[in-house]
Amino acid sequence: MLPDGSTEHMLRLFSILEFMKQKMRLGIIGGGLMGREAASAFGRWFVLENFPVQAELVAVCDLQDKLLEWFKQVPTVKLLTKDHQELLRSPDVDVVYVAVPHNLHEKLYLDVLNSGKDLLAEKPFGIDLNASKTIHEAVRKSGRFVRCSSEFPFLPGAQRAMQYVHSGKIGRIMEIRSGFWHASDMDPNKAVNWKRQNKTNGEIGVMGDLGMHVVHVPFRMGWKPLRVYAQLQKVYTQRPDGKGGMAPCDTWDNAMLHTEVLINNEEVPMRLEMKRLAPGEMNTWFIEVLGTEGGVRFSTKDPKTLWIFERGKEQIWQKIDLGYQMPFQTITGGIFEVGFPDCFLQMWAAYAAERAGELGTRFGCATPEEAVLSHELFAAALESHTQKKVVSLARA
């Protein structure tokens, strides 16, 4: 018998608790940029403190040998395959993360649901509105737990911005801006890839690529556009094909969606910005909400800073230094810095917690309904741009 409170006693208790945790055994389809990012999140799952679910990556499917080879480093992976149906037949997989080009979303998401497994789907949740509706209907019929990827709202700055708006200190909201900017396409010599062609990325272009990230927080705050006027731009119409020639690059590079949302029976302008050609912006996600009494601003450009506005005798923007305050507690010190892998892990923690019924009041991943709503907005934006008119979004 070990004395209560001794180190050995605590360790034994800890291992019993670990054993009792629900296991989430994962399969990845698409082991490219995001598939490997997900593997990294599962690989350091143990940093989550007092977390009710254990995650284990057990199977990976990709078409490329070099990527399958890469996943051999992960000791828990038992199945490596080029056939996604083989992964879906595996009784060892509970949840599947699908991170493939957009033209494959619909087929693969439906295959996952038909196999009876849960899904974390990458955005944009189908290549277009029709695909997203078909997937949504299949989700509804299957009863499986499905969420769509969008990780930036899990950053401390984004969480604090939402808390600030909920606090009511902002007064009457006058204006909202939400955006995601990239600069890498500023280089005209960057080779074309599937994200830069309509047939694989979708006609919605940059909106499919960056849009879910931009609408997740506004939608969750209840700010759903009543109408949209869209300005879409194609700047480079061809790019090097990587084989010495040129290839068509027909996607929209930049999108500015001017919308209005209803807040307390007042129409409020909300601008949504998605850009692949934003000079000097590596990977800048931001949200800004301005009100009559206060305001809040957060950008990953300055990831440790939250700006809060206060209208007093003087008009003051206060700068708050942020630490590592995440929705799901980890072993990382509260004064340390956050980064992309951290918010991606938090998103997965939210997925696992919600699936296990343990999310509580914490922020959850984007839902299939929010993903379909984003597609309704993007489809309306395409129509708006083509016809140069404001397009209404029907609201029940």
Ligand X SMILES: NC(=O)c1ccc[n+]([C@@H]2O[C@H](COP(=O)([O-])OP(=O)(O)OC[C@H]3O[C@@H](n4cnc5c(N)ncnc54)[C@H](O)[C@@H]3O)[C@@H](O)[C@H]2O)c1
User: Of these, 41, 48, 57, 61, which contacts ligand X (CB under 6 A)?
Assistant: 61
| CA within 13 Å, CB half, 170 | 23
Determine the Cα–Cα distance for residues 38 and 56; give it in Å rounded to an integer.
11
Determine the Cα–Cα distance for residues 109 and 140; give it in Å rounded to an integer.
13
Helix (H), strand (E) at residue 390: none
Question: How many degrees, rounded to 5, is the angle at CA 330 between CA 94 and CA 97?
Answer: 25
Min CB(308)–ligand X separation in Å: 27
- Closer to ligand X by Cβ: residue 104 or 393: 104
The residue type of 97 is Y
The stretch among 99-107, 156-164, 351-359, 368-376 that binds ligand X (CB under 6 A) is 99-107
Query: What is the number of other CB atoms lying within 10 angstroms of the CB of residue 215?
Result: 29
Q: Closest CB to ligand X belongs to which residue?
A: 32
What contacts 154, CB < 8 A, 6 or more positions away? 326, 327, 343, 346, 347, 350, 363
> Is 63 a residue that touches ligand X (CB under 6 A)?
yes
Min CB(336)–ligand X separation in Å: 22
Number of H helices and E strands in the chain, helices first, is 11, 17
User: Of these, 27, 71, 120, 123, which contacts ligand X (CB under 6 A)?
Assistant: 123
DSSP state at residue 324:
-
> Is 185 a residue that touches ligand X (CB under 6 A)?
no
> Is 246 a residue that touches ligand X (CB under 6 A)?
no
The stretch among 8-16, 71-79, 97-105, 175-183 that binds ligand X (CB under 6 A) is 97-105
- Closer to ligand X by Cβ: residue 104 or 226: 104
> Is 29 a residue that touches ligand X (CB under 6 A)?
yes
User: Of these, 54, 132, 149, 384, which contacts ligand X (CB under 6 A)?
Assistant: 149
- Closer to ligand X by Cβ: residue 165 or 374: 374
Nearest to 27 by CA among 69, 103, 79: 79
List interacting residues with ligand X (CB under 6 A): 29-34, 61-64, 67, 84, 99-102, 104, 122-123, 149, 151, 209
